[in-house]
Amino acid sequence: TCIPLTTDGENNIRLELLNPKGQVIETIYSGKVIRDRNFFVNTSELSSGVYLILLSSSDKKLFQKLIVR
């Protein structure tokens, strides 16, 4: 699964995959992002269900639903 990230400049971010209980399953990326880029999550080993992608920066937290079939 591809997660596109658009940024308006240099940012330190943390991108995490959460289970339905809100527990971190995997840290996809943690570090500096200077330009737009794509991140990839291997969902082949995940059980079917609804997961969350959490994008955190110093001043924001954004969630996106990820459905695995």
- Give backbone dihedrals phi and psi of 34, rounded to 5 degrees, phi first: -105, -30
According to DSSP, the residues that pair with 4 across neighbouring strands are: 38
What is the structure's pLDDT at 29? 96
CB count, 10 Å around CB of 18?
A: 16
What is the structure's pLDDT at 40? 93
d(CA 6, CA 47): 28
pTM for the whole structure: 0.87
Give tens-digit pLDDT for 31-54: 999 889 999 999 999 999 999 999
What is the structure's pLDDT at 8? 80
